[in-house]
Structure 1
């Protein structure tokens, strides 16, 4: 198939590595999202993030993860053809907030469960996303979610390699990255996921820092400052600062009024990455009682 088989309808997104269009397949009339890849330079060709995204999505076939339908490569141009989903979680939250509306409790549980399922599926394939945020979570008109944008995703290696810390959008970035930890694993996604579950419930990001230091301060205000007792080795991390010890722990009082959700996110917001529950364990929590598991 070639790019001319699709009719571009409108531009729906643009990033460093490409432009995304809402498009229609001429033969079938089906809507798709068409991502036109922008070369890194005249000589370098396809960006590494695009190659990574293609390889990861070939491995990730699940109802909660965006489907890559086709890769078109012709005339030095590359297009990725994805299934089309109406909006993303950030836009949806913004739209509801403008109308002073919140999500119904069962919708909160449904989207949260699907998100945990998507992250658990990635982790079961030894893949961590590394950039979980509402903009990367697509939502259809029935509030079904699809996890998208795997450009920063990584296949886990044994032993764990040192990865770049400049990943995960600041508001969703876990403390081990903010404090300069060089090694990390799939638990970075669990912290980001907890931030998003709270945001779905409150309609507001939980930790809105404007710098790495400010981000840590926002986290400390709610969770307190970590010590060696909470997290062995934390005080030796490059960006740990004892001067911040004056911050008292506020907790989630006044933020989360649902005890089952609060119990869940507290287990995800554990400072020590080794103590954080997994996405799989999160699905077993009481907050999701009565929701059928999603296997495919």
Structure 2
């Protein structure tokens, strides 16, 4: 059913250009609830919503049963200049992990994140990722900007999820801000066409390190620089360590670096944490720890898991 989006929601402000289109903070006129309205860029034909998009929306609906995934509340179809537009209506959270970390990075209260908070957020992230992977969904673009934080409840939620195929992820976002590569797995940077749950676990590792260090572990500004950052710390992979790596599309003869101490890159992280991080940052994706196994790691032993 087509609705006039203006009749149902009052747009309060544009809060960003998401990976998939404009995002507005809005209020549901009937209930007063604050929502995030995502206006999707979707090639729609006269037939209406393409089946791929419908599949992904039903998947999103399924995934949002976890409190660690941002909830999809409704899907609204509207029209502009005779062209159909799809709005996805999500619960609204006013901060993300990047903004949350910025408070600790600079400003009057700058300082390390409390150890228990890092554990708490990382555990929730693993739980959300395990939920997605359990439904066969890869996120493929996990980064602090799309992990939303409910500050009052202390809950971390995964956003920008599952719209992988019908809504293409551009290399440049529409504000010409380069899509960040800092959390991207080496197999993706090397042009692998088939990848698995390991792509998300690499990103989780990078986010973990950043919560501890308060700065990105691999802050590359191009795909090549990104790979060099990774190889300088983790060592340049060989066929022995990572079978098939030299057959990937963008493999070149890279400088040969030996692995450095990961503990030195995250000096304040306890040994159990360094061990978990090293299991997430394995160069060969098939050697990376799964989200479900990560939740059982001794690093989380001091956490009261009954609260999750």
User: How many Å separate the matches in 2 of 1:47 and 1:70?
Assistant: 17
1:102 aligns with 2:104: no
- Over 3 Å counting, the alpha-carbon distance change for 1:16 and 1:204 in structure 2 is closer
Aligned residues: 288
Deviation of 1:58 (Å): 1.5
Q: Which residue of 2 aligns with 1:135?
A: 145
CA contact (8 A) 1:270 1:276 kept: yes
Partner residue in 1 for 2:245: 234
Say which SS state the counterpart of residue 285 (structure 2) adopts: coil
Counterpart mapping for 1:118-157 below 5 A: 118-142=128-152, 143-150=154-161, 152-153=163-164
CA distance in 2: counterparts of 1:82 and 1:282, whole angstroms: 28
1:238-295 superposed Cα distances (whole Å, 9 cap, x missing partner): 33333411x2322223322321211101011111111111011110111111434479
Report the Cα distance in structure 1 between the residues aligned to 2:170 and 2:247, rounded to whole angstroms. Answer: 17
User: Which residue number in structure 2 is paired with residue 70 of structure 1?
Assistant: 74
* Aligned positions of 1:206-217 closer than 5 A: 206-217=217-228
* Distance in 2, Cα, partners of 1:178 & 1:34: 31
SS in 2 for 1:254: helix
Distance between the aligned counterparts of 1:227 and 1:175, measured in 2? 13
Change (3 A) 1:213 1:47: farther
Deviation at 1:233, TM superposition (A): 2.2
Provide, for residues 88-126 of structure 1, a one-character-per-residue CA deviation record: whole Å limited to 9, x for no partner.
111222233122233211111111000000000101111
1:204 is aligned to 215
In the alignment, the residues of structure 2 paired with residue 93 and residue 188 of structure 1 have an alpha-carbon distance, to the nearest angstrom, of 23
Per-residue displacement from partner, 1:115-164 (whole Å, max 9, x unpaired)? Answer: 00000010111111111111111011143111010254369xxxxxxx99
Match of 1:89 among 97, 102, 113: 97
Give the deviation of 1:28 after TM superposition. 2.2
1:249 aligns with 2:259: yes
Deviation of 1:206 (Å) = 0.8
Task: State the Cα deviation string for residues 140-193 of structure 1 (Å, max 9, x = none).
Answer: 1143111010254369xxxxxxx9997984111111122232321111111111
Distance 1:14 1:50, change over 3 A: farther
CA drift at 1:235:
2.9
- 1:218 has 2:222 as partner: no
Matches within 5 A, 1:266-277: 266-277=278-289
Q: Is the 8 A contact 1:65 1:146 kept in 2?
A: yes
- Which TM-score applies when normalising by structure 2? 0.83
Instruction: Write the deviation string for residues 36-55 of structure 1: whole angstroms up to 9, x where unpaired.
Output: 23455898976898656523
**Given the alignment of the two structures, is residue 10 of structure 1 paired with residue 10 of structure 2, yes or no?**
no
Q: What residue number does 1:160 align with?
A: none
How far apart are 1:205 and its partner, in Å? 1.1
Residue 280 (structure 2) pairs with residue 280 (structure 1): no
Aligned to 1:159: none
- Structure 1: how far apart are the matches of 2:258 and 2:76? 54
Once structures 1 and 2 are overlaid, which stretch shifts more, 65-74 or 177-186?
177-186
Q: Distance in 2 between matches of 1:262 and 1:232?
A: 25
Change (3 A) 1:274 1:294: farther
